[in-house]
Structures are given as C-alpha cells and as structure tokens.
Amino acid sequence: MIVAILPLSPLKRIAKKSGVIRMSDEAVEEFRDVLEEIADEIARDAVIAARHAGRKTVKAKDIKFVSRW
C-alpha cells in the first residue's frame, strides 16, 4: 500500500486548470492515489533504466524515456 504523499490542494488547482469546475473530495483523493501509483511506477522504471546505463543516479532523460506513451 502506498502512503499518500501529495497534498490535495495543488491537485485541485491542476484539475481546475484542466477545466474541472467542481470536484468532490473523494474524487480529489482518488486523483491523488492514481497519480502517486503512476509516479511510483515511473520512478521504479527510471531506476532500472539508470542501472542499465551503468549509473546510480536517475537523470531526467531516464524519466522521459520510461514515461513515453
């Protein structure tokens, strides 16, 4: 289980910038949970990419590489 790290208010601002007029507290919490799961997966994959490249340091290019859709 992932412990919630991201605060809710910035996520509400992101949603509003995307056109959301109103969002329930439950929806914001679910949004946070989904984003944290995605971020966790990207971070894990970026570590693998850095190790594959012979590095211990994760670089921006690792994040970009593993997050391509």
Distance CA 35, CA 32 (A): 5
Which amino acid, 55? Answer: R
Topology given in CATH for the domain delimited by 8-66: Histone, subunit A (1.10.20)
pLDDT in tens, 8-20: 999 999 999 999 9
Domain edges within the chain: 8-66
Find the farthest-apart pair of alpha carbons in the chain and give their distance in angstroms, rounded: 47
pLDDT in tens, 21-46: 999 999 999 999 999 999 999 999 99
Q: What is the pTM of this model?
A: 0.83
* Cα distance between residue 38 and residue 50, in whole Å: 18
Interhelix angle 25-52/8-17, nearest 10 degrees: 90
